[in-house]
Structure 1
Amino acid sequence: MKIAIIDDDLYFLNNIEKKIKQYSRNLFNISIDTFTSCSLLFSKKYDIYFLDIDMLSSNGIDIAKKIKSTNSLAKIIFITSHVDLVFSAITIQPFYFIRKTNLDKDLSIAFTLLEDCYIEKEYYKFKYNSEIVSILIDDILYLETSDHLTTIYTNLNQYHIYKSLKDIQEEIHSQNLIQINRKTIINILHISFDKKNTVTLDNKKTFKIGRTFKKNFNDAFSTFIFKGE
C-alpha cells in the first residue's frame, strides 16, 4: 500500500509520518512518500493521500480534484487546522478528516476505517524477522524458489521464506497465483503481456512458461479474462 503525505509544515509532516507508521504496523505493508509541495506529487500514483487542505502555496482542495481526475480509486484523507474548511472540502468526497489539534484520536479512527475498508481483501500473514507481516495477496507479483528458499516479490518488498513453493501456494490459496514453471508462480492480476511460451508482468519482468505447466496456465488465464467481461 502506497501512501503520500502532503503538508508544507515540515515539523508536522515528520510527526504525522511517524504516527502513520505506528498505526499501520501489523495492519498494512506500506511505503510512504512525503511532500511539502505538489510539484513532484503527480509523478506516481498512491493508494492513500494525507493532504493538508490549507497550504501556503497550494490549495489542498484543488490538489485533491486533480488526484481524483487521474486516480479515482485513491482515498483522500484531508488534514486541517481550520475546521471551517471541512464543509468546502466535502464536495471532493474525502475518505476522512484529520484535525491537527486532535491528531492521535483522528488518526486512530482513520486507520480503523481503513482496516474495515480493506477487510474484505485477502491477506497473507506470516512471521518474518520476528514480526508478523501482512501483505495484500493482490499486491504479490510473483514467487520464486531456489534451494528451499522461496522469495515473495511485491512492488514494495521482497520476503525470503524457508518454505517450499508448494507450501506457500497452499497457504495463500488464491486462484490468481498460477505456477508457470518448476521455480515460479505468478499473479495473473499483474500480467501485462502473454506470448506463446513467455509471460511478462507489469514490472517488466518476463518468465518462461514450462511445457508441463502451459495448459494449466492457459486454462486459468482464460477463466480470469472471461470472468472479468
Structure 2
Amino acid sequence: MRILICDDDALIIEQLQKYIRNFFENISVKCPELVCFSDGESLLADKGEKDILFLDIEMPGMNGIYVGKELKKKNDKIIIFIVTSYSEYLDDAMRFHVFRYLSKPLAKQRFFRNMKDAVDLYNTMTVKIPVETKQGVHTLPASSVIAVKAQGRKVTVHTTLCDFESIHNMQYWLELLPKNRFFQTHRSFIINLEHVTDFDRNLVHMSDNQSAYLTKRKYSAFKEAYLLYLESTR
C-alpha cells in the first residue's frame, strides 16, 4: 500500500502524517509508504502506485477537483479523501466518486473511523483468491468474482474474465469470500455486492447479465448489507 498527501498547508500535512502513523500503530500494522506533495502538478507527475490519497481542494495551480478527476481516469480504484475547509466543493467532489469528505480542522476519532473503512476497502479490492478446478488453480482478485452459483453438485464461479467450475462446495466459498463484500441471497447463490446493478424482492441483477434468486426471508438483510456496502464506498 502507498498513501499520498497533497496539500499546500505544511501543518495539515504534518497532522495527517501523525494521524496516519497513529492509526497503523493502533492496529499493530507497519505504516505503509507515505508520500507528500504541496501541489497538484507534482502529484500528477508521480509515477508510483496511488492507493489512498488525501487531497486538498484549494492549492496554487491545479485545484484538487481537477487533480482528482485526472487520477480517477488513470485508476478508478484509487481511494480519495477530500480534505478541505470549503463545503461548497462537496458536489463537485462527489461527481468523481471520492471516498470521503473530511473537514478542516481534522477530528482524530472521525479520521480513524474513516481510515479503517478505507483500509478495509483497499484490502477487499486487492485480496486474491484461488479458484480450484479439475484443470488447475487460477488466482484472481476477489473483486473480479461476480457470483458463485450451485446447480445440484455443480458449483460455477462467474467472474469478469470467464466462468470456472469449482471443485469446492458452497460452504467453502461462503467461508473464503470477504464477508463485507459478498452475500448469500439464496442457498444456490453468493453474490458480489460490487457487481449489483439493481434488485427487487425476488431477483438481484448484476453485471455481465448475471442474476441471482433472493429469498423473501433474506430480503431485509440483503438490503441492509447492500446499503452498508454503498456507504462504505462513498
User: Normalized against structure 2, the TM-score is what?
Assistant: 0.50
Partners of 1:54 and 1:106 in 2: how far apart? 22
Counterpart of 1:97? 101
Does the CA-based 8 Å contact 2:40-2:64 persist in structure 1? no
The aligned counterpart of 2:49 is 45
Residues 28 and 87 from structure 1, CA distance in 2 versus in 1: closer, same or farther, beyond 3 angstroms? farther
1:175 CA displacement: 4.9
Task: Give the deviation of 1:38 after TM superposition.
Answer: 2.4
Aligned position for 2:81: 77
String of CA shifts for 1:120-160, please: whole Å, max 9, x gaps. Answer: 57xxxxxxxxxxxxxx876xxxxxxxxxxxxxxxxxxxxxx
Q: How does 1:105-120 map to 2 (within 5 A)?
A: 105-118=109-122, 120=124
1:36 corresponds to 2:38: yes
In structure 2, do the counterparts of structure 1 residues 7 and 86 end up closer, same or farther at CA, with 3 Å as the change threshold? same
* Shift in CA distance, 69/120, structure 1 to aligned 2, threshold 3 Å: closer
For the residues of structure 2 that align with 1:221 and 1:39, how far apart are their CA atoms?
49
Q: For residues 179-198 of structure 1, what are the structure 2 equivalents within 5 Å?
A: none
Could you report, residue by residue, the CA deviation over 1:137-186 in whole angstroms, capped at 9, with x for unpaired residues?
Answer: 76xxxxxxxxxxxxxxxxxxxxxxxxxxxxxxxxxxx759xxxxxxxxxx
Once the 2 structures are TM-superposed, how far is the Cα of residue 106 of structure 1 from its aligned partner? 3.0
What does residue range 1-229 of structure 1 map to in structure 2 within 5 Å? Answer: 1-25=1-25, 26-27=28-29, 29-41=31-43, 42-43=45-46, 44-118=48-122, 120=124, 175=130, 223-224=137-138, 228-229=161-162
Does structure 2 conserve the Cα–Cα contact (< 8 Å) formed by 1:45 and 1:71?
Answer: no
Residues 4 and 46, structure 1, Cα contact 8 Å, conserved in 2: yes
How far, CA to CA, are the matches of 1:77 and 1:221 in structure 2? Answer: 43
- Partners of 1:67 and 1:221 lie apart in 2 by 39
Distance 1:100 1:35, change over 3 A: same
Find the counterpart in structure 2 of residue 195 from structure 1: none
Shift of 1:79: 0.3
Q: Give the secondary structure class of the aligned counterpart of 2:62.
A: coil
- The superposition leaves residues 17-41 of structure 1 with CA deviations (integer Å, 9 ceiling, x where unpaired) of 1111111232565111000012332
8 A Cα contact 2:130 2:139, kept in partner: no
Count of aligned positions: 138
When residues 49 and 221 of structure 1 are mapped into structure 2, their CA distance, relative to the original with a 3 A threshold, is farther
Distance 1:220 1:104, change over 3 A: farther
Q: Provide structure 2 residue ranges, at least 5 long, that are not aligned to the other structure.
A: 141-158, 163-234
How far apart are residue 225 of structure 1 and its match?
A: 7.1
The residue type paired with residue 102 of structure 2 is I
Distance in 2 (CA, whole Å) between partners of 1:119 and 1:4 is 17
Q: Percent of pairs identical after alignment?
A: 22
Gaps of 5+ in 1: 122-135, 139-173, 177-218
Q: Give the aligned CA root-mean-square deviation in angstroms.
A: 3.1
Which amino acid in 2 is paired with 1:91? R
